Chains A and B, each alone.
Chain A
Amino acid sequence: GENVEQHPSTLSVQEGDSAVIKCTYSDSASNYFPWYKQELGKRPQLIIDIRSNVGEKKDQRIAVTLNKTAKHFSLHITETQPEDSAVYFCAARIQGAQKLVFGQGTRLTINP
C-alpha cells in the first residue's frame, strides 16, 4: 500500500523567512496530494492541494510543488507569520481509492 514520509518532524524559522516541508510517497498511482494545517487545539484544515497533472500550485503565501518522477511533493510558505505556527500534514491518495494516507506531521514554529 501507499506510504508517505514527511520531513522534518519539527521546523523553527524566523518570522518573515520561508519554510519548506517535504514529503515522499511510494505508490506511483497516487494522483492527489493535499496539505492540512492543524493549529493548537483546533481541527486539521485543508490549506492547499495539487493533482498529479500539475507541477505547481500557488495560493498567496503558500505553494506546493510536485515531482512525479521522484515521487515527492513540497509545501512552501513564504514571508512566514506567527499565525503560520501549527502542525502541517501532507497526504496522498491513490487513484481509484478514496482514503488519504498521511505523513507524520511537521510542527512549524515561527519565532518573532
Chain B
Amino acid sequence: EAGVTQFPSHSVIEKGQTVTLRCDPISGHDNLYWYRRVMGKEIKFLLHFVKESKQDESGMPNNRFLAERTGGTYSTLKVQPAELEDSGVYFCASSQPYGVRGTEKLFFGSGTQLSVL
C-alpha cells in the first residue's frame, strides 16, 4: 500500500512569495488533514477535509492560507503571500472513512519543510 505522499520535501522562499504544497493521501482515505509544526512546538491542526468538503478549518491561521481538495483526491495548501512566521514543517495525514474500523488512525506524510526568508 502506498503511503501518504507530500511534495516538495523542502521549500525555501522569500517573504512575499507564494508556495503551494501538495499531498496525495492513501487511496480510499476520505479524511485528509493538514497539520503544521513550528520548531520545537506541537503539531498543530490546520484543517480537515472529508472527500472534497472542508469539514473543519478552525486551525487555519489567516486568509493567506488556502487549501483545496478538488475531486476529493489530492490536496494543495497554498500560502500567499508567505511571511516569516509561516516557516515550519507542514504535515498531511489521511485516514479511513468515518465509520470504518480504524478511522481514527492517522497516516502521516513525511512533511514539507518550509523556510521563509
Contacts and interface: CB of A to CB of B under 8 A. Distances in A.
Interface residues on B, range: 20 to 34
Contacts of B55: 98
A11 interface: no
Contacts of A9: 40
Given A98-B98, A102-B43, A46 B105 contact: yes
B91 A99 contact: no
A103 B91 contact: no
A100 interface: yes
Interface stretch (B61-69, B80-88, B108-116): B108-116
A42 B33 CA distance: 18
B103 to A, nearest CB: 8
Given A34-B104, A44-B91, A45-B108, A101 B31 contact: no
A89 B104 contact: no
B48 interface: yes
B110 A100 contact: no
Contacts of A44: 43, 91, 108
B35 to A, nearest CB: 8
A52 to B, nearest CB: 12
Contacts, number: 59
Given A34-B105, A43-B108, A102 B56 contact: no
Contacts of B7: none
A96 to B, nearest CB: 11
B41 interface: yes
B48 A99 contact: yes
B104 A103 contact: no
Contacts of B43: 44, 89, 91, 102, 105
B36 to A, nearest CB: 11
A4 B42 contact: yes
A104 interface: yes
Interface of B: 3-4, 31, 33, 35, 37, 40-45, 48, 55-56, 59, 91, 98, 103-106, 108-111
